[in-house]
Amino acid sequence: MTKELVFIPIARDELAAIDGSVLLTGRAAHHVTPELLAALEYTAGQEEDAEYAALVLASVAALTRFGERLVLVADVDTSLIASGDDPENGACVLTRIAPEAMTCWFSEAPGVDASAAAIAVRGLDIDTAWGFDEVQELLHESDLLWNDVEEYRRGLR
């Protein structure tokens, strides 16, 4: 069984997938694809950089779909990953995501206001949203905050 990290853009109420009270199936997500590696000119040995790029792309997808950068990370069996419609941006579809596969999530740090960027890019694709000044400002000025799933399970959301 081969596993791979995937980055799943989610809505705030979908964080409950961590404890299994919300099921995530057939979900758009992002991961490292050969096309993403080529588009960003990554070479062998730059896997962590490529994973970070997939995370950032997933965060922009979350911003366009849900109005905030909220990304769930899971380590899933590759058999659960189907090709997406935008492989250059690491797009994929996960057939299902079990709570035990979820490792962490990323969110805005307290006090970060992403509303201007969210309003500007609502409903856009990643490449179009990427070109907006509001998105670039958010990406350059505000790193995402890492959160362990155990924090969620203990009620420290």
SS3 142: coil
Domain map (residue ranges) of the chain: 3-156
Measured CA to CA in angstroms, residue 57 lies from 16, 22, 23, 54, 117 at distances of 22, 23, 23, 5, 14
Pick the more confident residue, 130 or 153. 130
pLDDT digits (tens, 9 = 90+) for 88-110: 999 999 999 999 999 999 999 99
pLDDT digits (tens, 9 = 90+) for 22-72: 999 999 999 999 999 999 999 888 999 999 999 999 999 999 999 999 999
- Burial class from Cβ neighbours inside 10 Å (0-12, 13-18, 19+) for residue 25 reads exposed
CA distance 26 to 46: 29
Q: What pLDDT band is residue 82 in, cutting at 50, 70 and 90?
A: very high
Which pLDDT does position 117 carry in this prediction?
98
Instruction: Record the pTM.
Output: 0.94
